[in-house]
Chain A
Amino acid sequence: EMQVVESGGGLVQPGGSLRLSCAASGFTFSTYEMNWVRQAPGKGLEWVSYISSSGSTIYYADSVKGRFTISRDNAKNSLYLQMNSLRAEDTAVYHCVRESSAYGRPFDYWGQGTLVTVSS
């Protein structure tokens, strides 16, 4: 069964750091591009970051550029998001999302998400 399970969320003070992890199983992780997408409480979806299957190509949303770092370890079937200089507006559920190879690159599988709360 295909699965992605996020972990690492929690309560952190403004300016603090947190590292999210995503453990993938049930598919060949190393052949898929992956993304992080977040959703603030009661708000819509916001894309955060993309990483290619090899890890050689990375993109970020302007809102997190310079503060967040995406990475992956294909040997461990894992995706990561290092979040530094956290702000209140980063409070959200963070989803690990698999990207399909179909045209338009749809997001075909979403994890349940991990909640990050930035508050003093």
Chain B
Amino acid sequence: SFELTQPPSVSVSPGQTVTITCSGDYLGDKYVCWYQQKPGQSPVLVIYEDKKRPSGIPERFSGSKSGNTATLTISGTQAMDEADYYCQTWDSRTVIFGGGTKLTVL
């Protein structure tokens, strides 16, 4: 079955740049979305169509994809960015989420 693989955790110092990867077979042929989920809150869409930002999402959030790996980049990371991040795509008639990455801002 199709799976999306993310690192369980990453850490970053405030003001630095952090990347979170998401890999999966044939991901290069699919659109990838990214969601941010803070404790006790519902997920929020931060990137769609691999690299587009919804209105209201800060410019420090960006997305890219190379081959079968998608990457979420947060530039100038702030303490408020500490959260779980999930990648997601559609595989035929099924929605697939990555396992999630916990971002810690040290």
Residue positions of A touching B, CB distance < 8 A? 35, 37, 44-47, 50, 59, 61, 95, 100, 102-108, 110-113
Contacts and interface: CB of A to CB of B under 8 A. Distances in A.
B28 interface: no
A113 B95 CA distance: 18
Nearest to A61: B94
A56 to B, nearest CB: 14
Contacts of A45: 35, 37, 43, 86, 88, 97, 100
Contacts of B98: 44
Interface of B: 30-33, 35, 37, 42-45, 48-50, 52, 54, 84, 86, 88-90, 93-100
B42 A110 contact: yes
Contacts of A37: 95
Given A45-B97, A47-B95, A47-B96, 10 more contacts: A47-B97, A59-B94, A102-B49, A103-B31, A104-B30, A106-B49, A107-B43, A107-B45, A110-B42, A113-B42
